[in-house]
Amino acid sequence: MSDQVLEPEEHVLSTLERDGSRRWMYPRLFKGRFWNRRRIVGYFLIVLFIVLPHLQINSRPAIFLNITRREFTIFGFTFLPTDTLLLAFFMISVFLTIFLLTAMFGRVWCGWACPQTIYLEFVYRPIERLFCGTVGHGGKPRKPVPLIRRVMMYGAYLIISMVLAHTFLAYFVSVSELQHWVRQSPFTHPTGFLVMTATVVLMMFNFSFFREQLCTIACPYGRFQSVLLDRRSLIVSYDPQRGEPRGKISKTDPTPKGDCIDCGQCVQACPTGIDIRDGLQMECLHCTQCMDACDEIMEKVDRPLGLIRYSCQDEIDGKPTKKLRPRVVIYPLLLLLSVSAFTVTLISKKSFDITILRNYGNPYIVTKQDQVENNLQLKLVNRTDQPDEYTIQVLDAPDVKMELIGSPELNARQTKTIPLLISAPRESFVAGLREVELLIQSKNQADERRVTCQILGP
């Protein structure tokens, strides 16, 4: 009878077993230097997330994303639906910043600043370890957790999720409105109540069940690594030149071995369950727990630290590394241009917006007095928090007559479209066109804008 060769255990994904069942993660906790730094950054970002909706800048919330009115207040400045150019420059700057940070520092966002990582590792997992009896060291519970403890744990999850959901909702409805809602019956604001309830349910599902699968399955950022990283990007990497061949420390075995003693602590510390010794992987979050775990073991066996460290693929392979390369030069230049364009556009913004639109129907009519009349629409947007009145006049064209059919008075944040009739002598048109410059002045804000519009003729 021949001996049967057993295949090593494999995982289809780091969070799935070969039979498709869920592989639950209970990462070991190693409180090394990187964990302490990440904890400081994480707690700072948590406090910032909670405090920001309460801060007031220029009598406005620091961040207020009013989706229903399509107004977005960020650090005292309110962006309106008409600010398409600003939005374009802002989004370009965000993407270029992501490209640059990833090219230089790898997935530093995922490991150090992503809300998913921060809340899971520094809020929900500590609660889990408290009720599962693994405080201070983490890992899988050594014995089954009593039902009462599990109920209490999920109760704590629910409370935290409700706090986070209400804080999240404050960014969209303001703190004052949210406080007003909380004091009333849910039936008086059913939409807000349903949104809050759905947010709590999603947070409970994510942080109590889905967890690391959001990063390894749902989040697309890890899949972008192949195009955003290069061989000189900073990554969490294992040094096979030092570590191989792996082997336990033994006084009786004289065979030379590498620094890796194959203890497996780096795997047990990983919150996504991967083995960093297999090289760069999509599931790696750069959380540095494997680095802290390996450094702790290296100290115990009296070997140099940094077997797993921040490095780049070229350095690990022993190839020369250069800090400057095309992408780390091109990205900052493009980012500088985008930020500069955003800043100039923002500074040049007036207290009101104006757009001249052509009305439906005939583009023009010719009267018996040989006057060409154009029926237009003047769209005014008051960007301020105060009501205002505007005056409109034609510049340097005494033969042009203008008539507004409506009052150019606007309330705070109001948008109004006013019919505008412009007439000019027929003989003043050249090739059927004439340019007319309008001056629009704000009474309360002492602001003005000049707009050139084309009127059509025979």
pLDDT tens figures, 168-179: 999 998 888 888
Asked if 390 contacts 408 with a C-beta cutoff of 8 angstroms, the reply is: yes
Non-local CB neighbours of 408 within 8 Å, separated by 6+ positions: 378, 380, 389, 390, 391, 392, 416, 418
Q: Transcribe 18-62 into DSSP letters.
A: TTS-B-----B----HHHHHHHHHHHHHHHHHHHGGG-EETTEES
Three-class SS state of 78: strand
Q: Is the pLDDT of residue 286 over 80?
A: yes
pLDDT digits over 238-265, tens only? 999 999 888 888 777 767 788 999 999 9
Per residue in 367-400, pLDDT (tens digit) is 989 999 999 999 999 988 889 999 999 998 899 9
The angle that helices 147-173 and 175-182 make with each other, rounded to 10 degrees, is 130
Q: What is the residue whose two structure tokens read 């490209």?
A: 99
The pLDDT of residue 146: 94
Pairing of strands 60-61, 56-57: antiparallel
**Torsion sign over Cα 73, 77, 80, 86:** negative
pTM given for the model = 0.83
Q: How many CA atoms lie within 13 A of 160 on its CB side?
A: 22
DSSP states of 360-416: SS-S-EE-TTSEEEEEEEEEEEE-SSS-EEEEEEEES-TT-EEEESS--EE-TT-EE
* DSSP string of 233-298, one letter each residue: S-EEEE-HHHHPSP----SS--S---S-----HHHHH-TT---GGG---TT-----HHHHHHHHHH
* pLDDT on residue 1: 40
Mind listing the pLDDT tens digit for each residue in 189-235? 888 888 889 999 999 999 999 999 999 888 888 888 778 888 889 99
Instruction: Give, for 337, the enclosing helix (H) or strand (E).
Output: helix 326-347
DSSP class of residue 106? S
CA angle 89, 93, 95 (to 5 degrees): 120
* Residues 138-150 pLDDT 10s: 999 989 999 999 9
Between the alpha carbon of residue 85 and those of residues 69, 125, 136, 453, the distances in Å are 19, 42, 51, 20
**What tokens appear for 259 in the block?**
């620094």
CA distance 55 to 63: 8
Spatial strand order of the sheet with 433-442 comes to 409-410, 388-395, 433-442, 448-456
Report whether pLDDT(115) > 50: yes
- For β-strands 71-74 and 77-79, DSSP reports them as antiparallel
**What is the dihedral sign for C-alpha 77, 79, 83, 85?**
positive
Read off the pLDDT band of 5 (50, 70, 90). very low
Distance CA 286, CA 112 (A): 8
Helix, strand, coil percent values for the chain (each to nearest 5): 40, 20, 35
pLDDT at 11: 57
Rounded to the nearest integer, the mean pLDDT of the chain is 89
Q: What is the DSSP letter of 426?
A: G
